Amino acid sequence: MIEARGLTKRYGRTVAVNALSFTVQPGRVTGFLGPNGAGKSTTMRMILGLDRPSAGEVRIGGRRYTELKEPLREVGALLEAKWVHPNRSARAHLRWMAASNRIAAKRVDEVLDAVGLTAVAGRRAGSYSLGMAQRLGIAVALLGDPGVLLFDEPVNGLDPEGILWIRQFMHRLADEGRTVFVSSHLLSEMALTAQDLVVIGRGRLIAQTSTKSFIESAADSSVRVRGPELARLHSVLAGQGLAVQEQAATEDTPAVLVVRGSSTEAVGELAGAVGLVLHELTESRGSLEQAFIQMTGGEVEYQAGGGTAPAASGVAVPVDAQGALAPPGPVSGAPGFPPPGAVPAPGGGSGPAATRETASRGGQEGPAQ
Ligand SMILES: Nc1ncnc2c1ncn2[C@@H]1O[C@H](COP(=O)(O)OP(=O)(O)OP(=O)(O)O)[C@@H](O)[C@H]1O
């Protein structure tokens, strides 16, 4: 389990992560969702002790990273692929990692097998495709057989086959009882990968919930219904207090009623009760993209459509001359979601010792181990 409490990170006047509290449960894939620059990587680096929080803390299995005796056996991470020395083979790299962490050499073959790299383990890592490099990064994360795994944007740049493989692999790891925390700005991908979501915008918590409820509560769901007696159907449904809109017929489509805030069951039963024939009764479920835009109230700009093109602007919250945060950030405590800060405080304490602050964003490297 990962527990963040009041986690905050400032870089000068930029507040990258702002009083973030959330819990990541074992046995599930939890998506860490937010547009580019929302603070996902910074949060992950703080979880791994690579960045020191400006305030708040994060615990892994109840302990701070610095208190973990053998971190590689407790938490594994894939922060960035392609960080392996290009002239080193995957096997040599893993053996070196294993030896320097007192992990048995036979574990190297196990993880190579688990990620499907055995056949190419002797090749120079520099010759690997991005998908292969990601698999190698995952193999490194698994070396210590940790119960907690962090993956930062693991599907970025991968082809559909690579994306599917990663998705299935994450599910397998969660089924083994591990805590799997995976960040992405690809909303559509997270809808398929994650059972739970921690959603952030501008460094602040927007929602922590199951993916299903996130979509159901925030996305614009409606029921489409049509039949030969549309006007009568309209008045029956409206007579029951339902919000009904008629969509006029076009050349290709017949006229249809769109009912919001109801279900196919309720609409079907109301029609059946007065003997009305139906030719269509369909639920139209909103997408995660819609949910995200609705939850953030437009404050975090997000451009849907392939889910790959977030707006670059407005992703960090500036502080004013007094150091106060301004503006207050995106919508929190929206209907159906716990407000930020719902996670119980695991106790005070200082930040991790293995801190590495980077002056620019180019400084990220491999995992903490
Ligand atoms: N080392 C740093 N120095 C200064 N500013 C930083 C540093 N790291 C991150 N930031 C800033 O903090 C904010 C959050 O960045 P972060 O990389 O954590 O976001 P992200 O959600 O992971 O985005 P992305 O998907 O683009 O990596 C951004 O405004 C970023 O420019």
Nearest-angstrom CA–CA distance, 89 and 128: 10
Give the position of tokens 């024939």. Answer: 277
The pLDDT of residue 194 is: 95
User: What is the mean pLDDT of each successive set of 10 residues along the chain, which is 369 residues long?
Assistant: 96 94 97 88 93 95 89 88 74 90 91 91 87 89 94 86 90 96 84 92 90 73 91 95 92 91 91 96 75 61 33 26 27 30 29 32 35
Counting ligand 1 atoms within 8 A of each CB, the residue from 7, 9, 11 with the most, and so the one to mutate, is 11
* Residues 8 and 60: beta-carbon distance below 8 Å: no
Helices 230-239, 264-273: axis angle to 10 degrees equals: 110
Using CA atoms in the order 87, 90, 91, 96, what is the torsion angle rounded to 10 degrees?
Answer: 70
Beta-carbon contacts of residue 230 (< 8 Å; ≥ 6 apart): 246, 255, 257
The pLDDT of residue 111 is: 94
**Is the shortest distance between the CB of 185 and ligand 1 below 6 Å?**
yes
The pLDDT of residue 353 is: 29
CA nearest 116: which of 101, 98, 134?
134
Q: Which residues pair with 184 in a beta bridge?
A: 33
pTM tops 0.80, yes or no: no
The pLDDT of residue 328 is: 28
**Is the shortest distance between the CB of 14 and ligand 1 below 6 Å?**
yes
**Is the shortest distance between the CB of 129 and ligand 1 below 6 Å?**
no
Given the CA of residue 17, which atom of ligand 1 is nearest to it?
14
Counting ligand 1 atoms within 8 A of each CB, the residue from 156, 189, 315, 325 with the most, and so the one to mutate, is 315
The pLDDT of residue 132 is: 87
Structural domains in the chain plus CATH codes: 2-217+288-363 (3.40.50.300), 222-284 (3.30.70)
The identity of residue 230, as a single letter, is L
The pLDDT of residue 276 is: 96
Q: What ipTM was estimated for this complex?
A: 0.95
Nearest CA to ligand 1 atom 13: 16
The pLDDT of residue 83 is: 64
**Is the shortest distance between the CB of 44 and ligand 1 below 6 Å?**
no
**Is the shortest distance between the CB of 35 and ligand 1 below 6 Å?**
no
